[in-house]
Amino acid sequence: MDISVVVPLYNEAESLPELTAWIKRVMDENGFTYEIIFVSDGSNDNSWEVIETLREENKAVRGVKFRRNYGKSPALHEGFKRAQGEVVITMDADLQDSPDEIPQLYKMIKIDGYDLVSGWKKKRYDPLSKTIPTKLFNATARRVTGIKLHDFNCGLKAYRLDVVKSIEVYGDMHRFMPYLAKIAGFTKIGEKVVHHQARKYGSTKFGLDRFVNGYLDLITLWFFNKFAAQPMHFFGLLGSLMFLIGFVAVIFVGAYKIYSMMNYMPYRLVTESPYFYIALTMMVLGTLLFLAGFIGELVVRNSSERNRYNIDKEI
Protein backbone atom coordinates (compact mmCIF):
# COMPACT_ATOMS: atom_id res chain seq x y z
CA MET A 1 0.00 0.00 0.00
CA ASP A 2 1.28 3.46 -0.88
CA ILE A 3 -0.37 5.77 1.61
CA SER A 4 -2.13 5.65 4.95
CA VAL A 5 -4.02 8.79 5.87
CA VAL A 6 -4.51 9.06 9.62
CA VAL A 7 -7.24 11.45 10.74
CA PRO A 8 -7.84 12.12 14.44
CA LEU A 9 -11.24 13.63 15.01
CA TYR A 10 -13.43 14.86 17.79
CA ASN A 11 -16.97 15.82 16.83
CA GLU A 12 -16.37 16.51 13.15
CA ALA A 13 -19.34 14.67 11.61
CA GLU A 14 -20.20 17.37 9.04
CA SER A 15 -16.71 17.43 7.58
CA LEU A 16 -16.13 13.71 7.16
CA PRO A 17 -18.03 12.92 3.92
CA GLU A 18 -16.47 15.89 2.15
CA LEU A 19 -13.00 15.03 3.42
CA THR A 20 -13.32 11.39 2.40
CA ALA A 21 -14.56 12.24 -1.09
CA TRP A 22 -11.73 14.72 -1.54
CA ILE A 23 -9.04 12.28 -0.41
CA LYS A 24 -10.49 9.58 -2.65
CA ARG A 25 -10.47 11.88 -5.64
CA VAL A 26 -6.82 12.83 -5.12
CA MET A 27 -5.78 9.20 -4.60
CA ASP A 28 -7.62 7.97 -7.68
CA GLU A 29 -6.28 10.75 -9.88
CA ASN A 30 -2.73 9.80 -8.90
CA GLY A 31 -3.26 6.04 -8.90
CA PHE A 32 -2.25 5.55 -5.27
CA THR A 33 -3.33 2.57 -3.23
CA TYR A 34 -4.41 3.91 0.13
CA GLU A 35 -6.33 3.62 3.36
CA ILE A 36 -7.96 6.29 5.49
CA ILE A 37 -7.86 5.62 9.22
CA PHE A 38 -10.37 7.73 11.11
CA VAL A 39 -9.82 7.75 14.84
CA SER A 40 -12.85 9.11 16.60
CA ASP A 41 -11.57 10.47 19.87
CA GLY A 42 -14.68 9.92 21.98
CA SER A 43 -16.87 12.06 19.73
CA ASN A 44 -20.35 12.57 21.11
CA ASP A 45 -21.96 13.70 17.88
CA ASN A 46 -22.73 11.17 15.14
CA SER A 47 -19.17 11.06 13.74
CA TRP A 48 -18.97 7.31 14.25
CA GLU A 49 -22.18 6.58 12.35
CA VAL A 50 -20.89 8.74 9.52
CA ILE A 51 -17.63 6.75 9.50
CA GLU A 52 -19.59 3.49 9.37
CA THR A 53 -21.58 4.71 6.39
CA LEU A 54 -18.42 5.89 4.65
CA ARG A 55 -16.86 2.48 5.17
CA GLU A 56 -19.80 0.78 3.53
CA GLU A 57 -19.25 2.87 0.42
CA ASN A 58 -15.47 2.64 0.41
CA LYS A 59 -13.45 -0.19 1.91
CA ALA A 60 -10.35 1.99 2.02
CA VAL A 61 -11.99 3.71 4.99
CA ARG A 62 -11.14 2.26 8.38
CA GLY A 63 -12.23 3.50 11.77
CA VAL A 64 -11.27 3.32 15.40
CA LYS A 65 -13.60 4.64 18.08
CA PHE A 66 -12.40 5.64 21.52
CA ARG A 67 -14.91 5.13 24.27
CA ARG A 68 -14.06 8.56 25.67
CA ASN A 69 -12.09 11.63 24.70
CA TYR A 70 -8.36 11.08 25.25
CA GLY A 71 -6.81 13.77 23.08
CA LYS A 72 -5.22 14.18 19.69
CA SER A 73 -1.96 12.42 20.53
CA PRO A 74 -3.60 9.20 21.73
CA ALA A 75 -5.76 9.25 18.60
CA LEU A 76 -2.68 9.59 16.40
CA HIS A 77 -0.98 6.83 18.35
CA GLU A 78 -3.77 4.36 17.59
CA GLY A 79 -3.81 5.43 13.95
CA PHE A 80 -0.05 4.96 13.65
CA LYS A 81 -0.28 1.53 15.22
CA ARG A 82 -2.62 0.41 12.45
CA ALA A 83 -1.06 2.24 9.50
CA GLN A 84 0.39 0.06 6.74
CA GLY A 85 1.10 2.47 3.89
CA GLU A 86 4.72 3.19 2.94
CA VAL A 87 3.99 6.84 3.57
CA VAL A 88 1.80 7.92 6.44
CA ILE A 89 0.00 11.24 6.19
CA THR A 90 -1.73 12.85 9.12
CA MET A 91 -4.33 15.54 8.65
CA ASP A 92 -6.99 17.25 10.71
CA ALA A 93 -10.58 16.33 10.03
CA ASP A 94 -11.89 19.89 9.90
CA LEU A 95 -11.04 20.50 6.23
CA GLN A 96 -8.44 23.11 7.23
CA ASP A 97 -5.77 20.91 5.64
CA SER A 98 -6.03 20.19 1.95
CA PRO A 99 -5.75 16.63 0.58
CA ASP A 100 -4.39 18.18 -2.63
CA GLU A 101 -1.02 18.37 -0.89
CA ILE A 102 -0.79 14.59 -0.60
CA PRO A 103 0.94 13.75 -3.92
CA GLN A 104 3.70 16.30 -3.32
CA LEU A 105 4.22 15.13 0.26
CA TYR A 106 4.37 11.54 -0.97
CA LYS A 107 7.01 12.48 -3.51
CA MET A 108 9.14 14.29 -0.92
CA ILE A 109 9.24 11.13 1.20
CA LYS A 110 9.61 8.53 -1.54
CA ILE A 111 11.85 10.36 -4.00
CA ASP A 112 13.58 13.16 -2.13
CA GLY A 113 14.22 10.81 0.77
CA TYR A 114 12.81 12.80 3.66
CA ASP A 115 11.94 10.95 6.86
CA LEU A 116 9.34 13.49 7.82
CA VAL A 117 7.81 16.44 6.03
CA SER A 118 5.89 18.98 8.05
CA GLY A 119 3.31 21.29 6.56
CA TRP A 120 3.81 25.00 6.96
CA LYS A 121 0.65 27.09 7.03
CA LYS A 122 2.43 30.14 5.70
CA LYS A 123 -0.79 31.98 5.15
CA ARG A 124 -3.10 31.10 7.99
CA TYR A 125 -6.81 31.56 8.32
CA ASP A 126 -7.00 31.62 12.08
CA PRO A 127 -7.77 34.46 14.53
CA LEU A 128 -4.86 36.70 15.63
CA SER A 129 -5.20 35.44 19.19
CA LYS A 130 -3.91 32.15 17.85
CA THR A 131 -1.38 33.18 15.24
CA ILE A 132 0.71 35.48 17.43
CA PRO A 133 1.32 33.04 20.32
CA THR A 134 1.95 30.39 17.67
CA LYS A 135 4.81 32.44 16.23
CA LEU A 136 6.42 32.79 19.64
CA PHE A 137 5.93 29.14 20.34
CA ASN A 138 7.54 28.08 17.09
CA ALA A 139 10.51 30.37 17.66
CA THR A 140 11.12 28.78 21.05
CA ALA A 141 10.66 25.28 19.68
CA ARG A 142 13.18 25.99 16.93
CA ARG A 143 15.79 27.08 19.43
CA VAL A 144 15.25 24.24 21.87
CA THR A 145 14.99 21.43 19.34
CA GLY A 146 17.44 22.73 16.77
CA ILE A 147 14.99 21.84 13.99
CA LYS A 148 14.41 24.68 11.58
CA LEU A 149 10.66 24.39 11.09
CA HIS A 150 8.25 27.30 10.90
CA ASP A 151 5.18 25.43 12.00
CA PHE A 152 5.73 22.56 14.43
CA ASN A 153 2.11 21.90 15.18
CA CYS A 154 0.74 21.71 11.65
CA GLY A 155 -1.74 18.83 11.52
CA LEU A 156 -0.71 17.99 7.98
CA LYS A 157 2.48 15.95 8.01
CA ALA A 158 3.96 13.05 6.10
CA TYR A 159 6.12 10.30 7.55
CA ARG A 160 8.08 7.35 6.31
CA LEU A 161 6.34 4.30 7.81
CA ASP A 162 9.47 3.48 9.84
CA VAL A 163 9.20 6.79 11.64
CA VAL A 164 5.70 6.33 12.99
CA LYS A 165 6.51 2.79 14.04
CA SER A 166 9.60 3.94 15.96
CA ILE A 167 8.29 6.89 17.89
CA GLU A 168 5.70 6.94 20.57
CA VAL A 169 3.37 9.89 20.81
CA TYR A 170 1.39 10.33 24.04
CA GLY A 171 -0.12 13.07 26.19
CA ASP A 172 -0.02 16.24 24.11
CA MET A 173 3.23 15.45 22.37
CA HIS A 174 1.74 15.61 18.87
CA ARG A 175 3.00 19.19 18.83
CA PHE A 176 6.53 17.87 18.73
CA MET A 177 6.44 15.02 16.25
CA PRO A 178 9.51 16.38 14.42
CA TYR A 179 11.42 16.53 17.68
CA LEU A 180 10.33 13.01 18.64
CA ALA A 181 11.51 11.85 15.21
CA LYS A 182 14.82 13.62 15.65
CA ILE A 183 15.35 12.07 19.07
CA ALA A 184 14.69 8.66 17.50
CA GLY A 185 17.43 9.36 14.96
CA PHE A 186 15.44 10.48 11.93
CA THR A 187 17.18 13.64 10.93
CA LYS A 188 16.06 14.32 7.38
CA ILE A 189 13.18 16.57 8.30
CA GLY A 190 11.67 18.84 5.67
CA GLU A 191 8.99 21.40 5.33
CA LYS A 192 6.43 22.18 2.68
CA VAL A 193 4.27 25.26 2.41
CA VAL A 194 0.66 24.10 2.45
CA HIS A 195 -2.66 25.75 1.82
CA HIS A 196 -4.77 26.45 4.84
CA GLN A 197 -8.46 27.23 5.06
CA ALA A 198 -10.70 28.62 7.70
CA ARG A 199 -12.65 26.01 9.60
CA LYS A 200 -15.75 25.18 7.62
CA TYR A 201 -17.84 23.28 10.16
CA GLY A 202 -17.73 22.94 13.93
CA SER A 203 -15.34 24.79 16.22
CA THR A 204 -11.77 24.49 17.41
CA LYS A 205 -11.09 21.87 20.08
CA PHE A 206 -8.13 23.59 21.72
CA GLY A 207 -8.17 26.74 23.85
CA LEU A 208 -5.37 29.10 24.81
CA ASP A 209 -4.08 26.60 27.37
CA ARG A 210 -2.49 24.87 24.41
CA PHE A 211 0.40 27.33 24.62
CA VAL A 212 1.08 26.81 28.31
CA ASN A 213 0.93 23.06 27.83
CA GLY A 214 3.05 23.33 24.72
CA TYR A 215 5.85 25.07 26.59
CA LEU A 216 5.72 22.65 29.49
CA ASP A 217 5.86 19.69 27.13
CA LEU A 218 8.78 21.24 25.31
CA ILE A 219 10.72 21.54 28.57
CA THR A 220 9.85 17.95 29.46
CA LEU A 221 11.03 16.63 26.11
CA TRP A 222 14.21 18.65 26.15
CA PHE A 223 15.07 17.56 29.64
CA PHE A 224 14.12 14.00 28.90
CA ASN A 225 16.24 13.89 25.80
CA LYS A 226 19.24 15.28 27.63
CA PHE A 227 19.15 13.56 30.99
CA ALA A 228 16.61 10.75 31.10
CA ALA A 229 19.20 8.07 30.36
CA GLN A 230 21.59 9.35 33.03
CA PRO A 231 19.82 11.50 35.65
CA MET A 232 22.89 11.48 37.86
CA HIS A 233 24.78 13.53 35.29
CA PHE A 234 22.44 16.40 35.97
CA PHE A 235 21.23 16.04 39.55
CA GLY A 236 24.41 14.47 40.85
CA LEU A 237 26.64 17.21 39.52
CA LEU A 238 24.40 20.01 40.71
CA GLY A 239 23.83 18.34 44.08
CA SER A 240 27.49 17.62 44.70
CA LEU A 241 28.48 21.15 43.80
CA MET A 242 25.90 22.71 46.09
CA PHE A 243 26.74 20.41 48.94
CA LEU A 244 30.43 21.11 48.57
CA ILE A 245 30.00 24.87 48.58
CA GLY A 246 27.71 24.63 51.62
CA PHE A 247 30.11 22.34 53.40
CA VAL A 248 33.13 24.56 52.84
CA ALA A 249 31.10 27.57 53.96
CA VAL A 250 29.98 25.87 57.18
CA ILE A 251 33.56 24.89 57.98
CA PHE A 252 34.60 28.44 57.31
CA VAL A 253 31.92 29.88 59.61
CA GLY A 254 32.96 27.45 62.38
CA ALA A 255 36.67 27.95 61.89
CA TYR A 256 36.27 31.68 61.97
CA LYS A 257 34.52 31.48 65.32
CA ILE A 258 37.22 29.24 66.81
CA TYR A 259 39.88 31.54 65.44
CA SER A 260 38.17 34.56 66.99
CA MET A 261 37.85 32.83 70.36
CA MET A 262 41.49 31.84 70.42
CA ASN A 263 42.64 35.32 69.57
CA TYR A 264 40.39 37.08 72.08
CA MET A 265 38.47 38.81 69.33
CA PRO A 266 34.72 39.57 69.70
CA TYR A 267 32.64 36.63 68.51
CA ARG A 268 29.01 35.61 68.20
CA LEU A 269 27.07 32.38 68.16
CA VAL A 270 27.43 30.58 64.86
CA THR A 271 23.64 30.65 64.52
CA GLU A 272 23.68 34.42 64.53
CA SER A 273 25.57 34.54 61.25
CA PRO A 274 23.38 34.60 58.12
CA TYR A 275 26.08 32.71 56.26
CA PHE A 276 25.50 29.75 58.49
CA TYR A 277 21.91 29.46 57.29
CA ILE A 278 22.79 29.95 53.66
CA ALA A 279 25.43 27.24 53.93
CA LEU A 280 23.02 24.92 55.71
CA THR A 281 20.36 25.39 53.04
CA MET A 282 22.86 24.66 50.32
CA MET A 283 23.91 21.44 52.02
CA VAL A 284 20.31 20.31 52.42
CA LEU A 285 19.38 21.20 48.83
CA GLY A 286 22.56 19.59 47.55
CA THR A 287 21.73 16.37 49.34
CA LEU A 288 18.17 16.40 47.98
CA LEU A 289 19.33 16.97 44.42
CA PHE A 290 21.86 14.20 44.74
CA LEU A 291 19.17 11.88 46.04
CA ALA A 292 16.85 12.84 43.19
CA GLY A 293 19.62 11.85 40.80
CA PHE A 294 20.18 8.57 42.55
CA ILE A 295 16.49 7.70 42.60
CA GLY A 296 16.37 8.64 38.93
CA GLU A 297 19.16 6.17 38.24
CA LEU A 298 17.26 3.45 40.06
CA VAL A 299 14.18 4.17 37.95
CA VAL A 300 16.21 4.04 34.75
CA ARG A 301 17.81 0.77 35.77
CA ASN A 302 14.38 -0.78 36.13
CA SER A 303 12.92 0.77 33.00
CA SER A 304 12.06 -1.53 30.15
CA GLU A 305 13.19 1.25 27.80
CA ARG A 306 16.75 1.36 29.07
CA ASN A 307 18.10 -0.74 26.24
CA ARG A 308 15.76 0.15 23.45
CA TYR A 309 17.64 1.55 20.50
CA ASN A 310 16.40 2.43 17.06
CA ILE A 311 18.43 0.16 14.77
CA ASP A 312 18.61 1.27 11.17
CA LYS A 313 20.37 -1.62 9.41
CA GLU A 314 22.07 -4.89 10.19
CA ILE A 315 23.83 -7.45 8.00
Nearest to 193 by CA among 149, 135, 245: 149
In whole angstroms, how close is the CB of 115 to ligand UDP at the nearest point?
Answer: 23
Q: Which range, of 93-101, 190-198, 245-253, 256-264, touches ligand UDP by CB under 6 A?
A: 93-101
* 8 lies in the site for ligand UDP, by CB under 6 A: yes
Contact map string, positions 48 to 87, toward Mg ion, x by CB under 5 A: ----------------------------------------
Q: Does 75 bind ligand UDP (CB under 6 A)?
A: yes
Query: Mask 126-165, x = binds ligand UDP (CB under 6 A)?
Result: -----------------------------x----------
Helix 102-110, helix 16-30: angle, nearest 10: 50
Report the nearest approach of ligand UDP to the CB of residue 34 (Å). 19
CA proximity to 72, closest of 128, 8, 125, 115: 8
Q: Does 94 bind Mg ion (CB under 5 A)?
A: yes
Among 94, 101, 151, 217, binds ligand UDP (CB under 6 A): 94
Quick one: which of 4, 11, 40, 96 contacts Mg ion (CB under 5 A)?
96
Is residue 10 exposed (0-12), middle (13-18) or buried (19+ Cβ within 10 Å)? buried
Q: Which does 206 bind (CB under 5 to 8 A by kind): ligand UDP, Mg ion, none?
A: ligand UDP
Say if residue 59 is exposed, middle or buried (CB neighbours under 10 Å; 0-12, 13-18, 19+).
exposed
Nearer to ligand UDP, 43 or 145 (CB): 43
Question: In whole angstroms, how large is the CA radius of gyration of the chain?
Answer: 27
Site stretch for ligand UDP (CB under 6 A), options 115-123, 201-209, 242-250, 277-285: 201-209
Q: How far is the CB of 7 from ligand UDP (least distance, A)?
A: 7
Tell me which long-range contacts 308-315 makes (C-beta under 8 A, separation of at least 24).
310/166, 310/184, 310/185, 312/185
Cα–Cα dist 70/178, whole Å: 22
3-state DSSP: the chain helix, strand, coil percent, rounded to 5? 55, 10, 35
Are 182 and 145 in contact, with CB atoms under 8 Å apart? yes
Interface with ligand UDP: number of residues (CB under 6 A): 17
Which positions ≥6 away from 140 have C-beta within 8 Å?
A: 215, 218
Helix, strand, or coil (residue 186): coil
9 belongs to the binding site for ligand UDP (CB under 6 A): yes
**Residue pair 23/99 in contact by the 8 Å Cβ criterion:** yes
Interaction of residue 78 with ligand UDP, rule CB under 6 A: no
Residue pair 246/287 in contact (Cβ under 8 Å)? The answer is no
- Give the binding range for ligand UDP (CB under 6 A) out of 67-75, 117-125, 253-261, 290-298: 67-75
**Binding partner selected for residue 213 from ligand UDP, Mg ion, none, CB under the kind-specific 5 to 8 Å limit:** none
Looking at the chain, the number of H-run helices and the number of E-run strands are 11, 7
22-41 residues in contact with ligand UDP (CB under 6 A) are: 41
What pairs with residue 87 in β-bridges?
A: 3, 160
Residues 202-241 that bind ligand UDP (CB under 6 A): 204-206
Residues of this chain that interact with Mg ion (CB under 5 A) are 92, 94, 96
Residues of this chain that interact with ligand UDP (CB under 6 A) are 8-10, 12, 41, 69, 71-72, 75, 92-94, 96, 155, 204-206
